[in-house]
Amino acid sequence: MRAAPIATLNATAAASAGWPEAGGGHRFVAYFIWLVVYGALAGAIYALVALTFVIVYKASRTMNFATGEWVMFGALLTSSGLHGFNLAGAGLAGLLGAILIAALAMAAFATALSRVVLRHMTGRSLMAMIMLTLGLGTLMRGFGPIIFKGRANAIVSPIESDYIEILGLVLPPERLLSAVVATLCIAAVGCFYQYTRTGLALRAIAADPAAASGAGVDVTGHITLSWALAGIVAVVAGVLWSIVSGGGIGTALVGMKVFPIVVIGGLNSIPGCILGAMVIGVADSLASGYLDRLVGSGVSIVVSSLLLLAALWLRPWGLFGERVATRV
Amino acid sequence: MLSINNIEVVFDGTILVLKGVTLAAHEGKITALLGANGAGKTTTLKAISGLLAAERGAVTAGSIELDGTRLDRMAPHDIVAGGVAQVFEGRRVFDGLSVEENLLVGAHTRTNLTRIRASMEEVFSYFPILKERRGQAAGYLSGGEQQMLVIGRALMSDPQVILFDEPSLGLAPLIVENIFRIIGRLRDEGKHTILLVEQNAALALAIADHAYVMETGRIALEGPAAELRQNPEIRESYLGLNDAGARRSYRDVKRNRRRQRWLA
């Protein structure tokens, strides 16, 4: 079961969608377009996953190396709620109810973590925080199977899963739906940052925490809020990922996508995180569409790692992650 | 009245930086706090605004009170809400945010939107240039404009007391003159209580009502500004003048310094 949720998405889905081997002429072009669209749909979910990382980084300069595990917990909490409370039969309302329960649980977990553990870390080195989140990720991955043992972890799409055709492209509807929900979710978070006073305070903290504190912003409170928000976004991301790729403990592997994305887009930029996710999503899809059959499956993981290296080499501050607006 | 009563500040649990500082900033007056680098001026301001904890410092003795309310146990945002705003050293604007957004962050502790609008108009009346640049990213403002923005941001919390940390630092003389004129107006028209930390003693003493001189974590001298302007020690050490009003050679100043250390 090596990295199944990530690598198999595009290739197997392509096969099951009934796409023939790439032929010549217009079929070749159509196949290429299909791969790009398919990758972009995955990219939208990747962007949501990366957003959980960016939210925390913006507020506290803390790199959450446990992002994949957070997403996994979000997914497992939702599926446990769904099956534990017998909500699975209630269709969309049941799913939304389970998501709500999981979001509350995750926000509570994040708040507790921020209040109890992280507040003692103010003024400590970046490395100490990185080790802490790495350790947390390991703990979550270890305890995940114990806590959620024996519970069904499937989350079924609320839409009847039949293939639909848009502009001549055959696409699985649950994937389309997931991408739309992810996009709406990112837009909502973006609007929250741009148009609310709390969002404004969060942007001020991202720019200069000490000055924000001096201007009357409760910095520790807002950092806690960011963790909670990241927890809620992780639940949504986990659910969407489970819908398109099956769910379970393997969901944590989606965290591997976060670093290429945020390094390409810039650690603290929401537009950058969307763009980085699109690059990774499309590159994945193209790689598995064209290269998997030549060199065996799993190439997409290598490709995103190569992109990560290239980004570190060429633009280590990311595409949008520049120190903004410095007068020269 | 803002009063600091015999406070001690310790960093990292071991380093004693302020060793019993007592001072008072009276209502509607400008109180200047002078001293050399490392004397403890900025630390005093941070003790008032509650920003020491972020640097692993703490007030370990004494008290800080604003009209009888203890500030030294309060969180920074509660202190701002309680009426004390700080203008940081070094023009700490929020780079990527627009001028208007920077000002709005300053009003974070307030909820009444019409009163916040009124405060913003007041800021624009003090600094018309900020109104012209309201949509621009703060990082692209000139140094003087950034200093104005930081002062404006402090005004947005509707403060009773404003703490200024080196407002003249790194600015051209003409702009400094303008900034200090505004500080005078904030006292005269805005009725704000002002505590002004400055290295440029001549500038500060020209505008202040009362002044304190700090040396190595203590208050070394205190008095009405008019008196301190005439004090021979101040004239020598901080204004670089002797009694005839002419500059003295460095050798004499150095001897004077040695004498002071001995007396301390």
- Answer yes or no: do A210 and B88 touch at CB < 8 A: yes
Tens-digit pLDDT profile for residues B29-40: 999 999 888 889
| Angstroms from A101 CA to nearest CA on chain B | 31
For position A27, what pLDDT does the model report? 76
**What letter represents residue B179's amino acid?**
I
Domain spans of chain A?
Answer: 4-10+26-255
Q: Which of B195, B226, B253, B247 is nearest to B23 (CA)?
A: B195
Chain A CB contacts of B108 below 8 Å: 197, 200-201, 215-217
Nearest chain A residue to B137, by CA: A325
B154 and B247 housed in the same domain: no
Residue A282's CB: how many other CB atoms inside 10 A?
Answer: 19
Chain A CB contacts of B54 below 8 Å: 122-123, 209-210, 213
**What letter represents residue B181's amino acid?**
R
For position A10, what pLDDT does the model report? 47
B213 and B252 housed in the same domain: no
- Answer yes or no: do B105 and A327 touch at CB < 8 A: no
Look up the ipTM and state it: 0.86
B174 and B245 housed in the same domain: no
Q: Is B81 on the interface with A (CB under 8 A)?
A: yes
Tens-digit pLDDT profile for residues A202-217: 999 999 989 999 999 9
Mean pLDDT along residues B196-211: 92
Q: Enumerate residues 6+ apart whose C-beta is below 8 A from A71.
A: A49, A52, A234, A237, A238, A241, A251, A252, A254, A255
B236 and B206 housed in the same domain: no
- Answer yes or no: do B96 and A201 touch at CB < 8 A: no
- Answer yes or no: do A214 and B51 touch at CB < 8 A: yes
With residue A199 as reference, give the H or E element that holds it: helix A197-207
Q: Is B172 on the interface with A (CB under 8 A)?
A: no
B220 and B235 housed in the same domain: no
Residue A324 predicted with pLDDT over 70: no
* Least confident span in A13-22, A161-170, B95-104: A13-22
Parent domain of B242: 231-264
B73 and B95 housed in the same domain: yes
Chain B CB contacts of A122 below 8 Å: 53-54
Q: Is B153 on the interface with A (CB under 8 A)?
A: yes
Tens-digit pLDDT profile for residues A73-104: 999 999 888 888 877 777 788 889 989 999 99
Q: Is B117 on the interface with A (CB under 8 A)?
A: no
B13 and B90 housed in the same domain: yes
Query: How many domains does the structure of chain B reveal?
Result: 2
Chain A CB contacts of B88 below 8 Å: 210-211, 214
Chain B CB contacts of A203 below 8 Å: 94, 96-97, 101
> CA B160, CA B193: separation in Å to the nearest integer?
6
> CA A271, CA A60: separation in Å to the nearest integer?
19
Residue A12 predicted with pLDDT over 60: no
Residue B246 predicted with pLDDT over 60: no
| Angstroms from B202 CA to nearest CA on chain A | 28
- Answer yes or no: do B96 and A203 touch at CB < 8 A: yes
Interface probe with A: pick from B56, B105, B119, most Cβ of A within 10 Å: B105
Cα of first residue to Cα of last residue in chain A, in angstroms, is 53
> CA B160, CA B31: separation in Å to the nearest integer?
14
SS3 B214: strand
Question: With contact defined as beta carbons under 8 Å apart, do A252 and A68 qualify?
Answer: yes
How much is the pTM? 0.85
* Least confident span in A215-219, A269-273, B126-130, B212-216: A269-273
Chain B CB contacts of A217 below 8 Å: 77, 105, 108
For position A25, what pLDDT does the model report? 62
B185 and B247 housed in the same domain: no
Chain A CB contacts of B55 below 8 Å: 123
For position A250, what pLDDT does the model report? 78
Nearest chain B residue to A198, by CA: B108
Name the token pair of A4.
Answer: 């199944």
- Answer yes or no: do B140 and A217 touch at CB < 8 A: no
Interface probe with A: pick from B12, B108, B149, B162, most Cβ of A within 10 Å: B108
* Least confident span in A1-15, A39-53, A133-147: A1-15
For position A83, what pLDDT does the model report? 83
Q: For the CA atoms of A105, A108, A114, A117, what is the dihedral angle to 10 degrees? A: -80
B66 and B15 housed in the same domain: yes
Alpha-carbon A198 to chain mean position: 23
Residue B241's CB: how many other CB atoms inside 10 A?
Answer: 15
B23 and B93 housed in the same domain: yes
> CA A174, CA B159: separation in Å to the nearest integer?
55
The residue ranges of DSSP E strands in A144-259, in sequence order, are 164-166, 169-171
- Answer yes or no: do B157 and A216 touch at CB < 8 A: yes
Nearest chain A residue to B51, by CA: A214
Q: Is B90 on the interface with A (CB under 8 A)?
A: no
Closest residue to B96, CB basis, from A123, A207, A217:
A207
B158 and B264 housed in the same domain: no
Q: Provide the residue count of chain B.
A: 264
* Least confident span in A125-134, B169-178, B198-207: A125-134
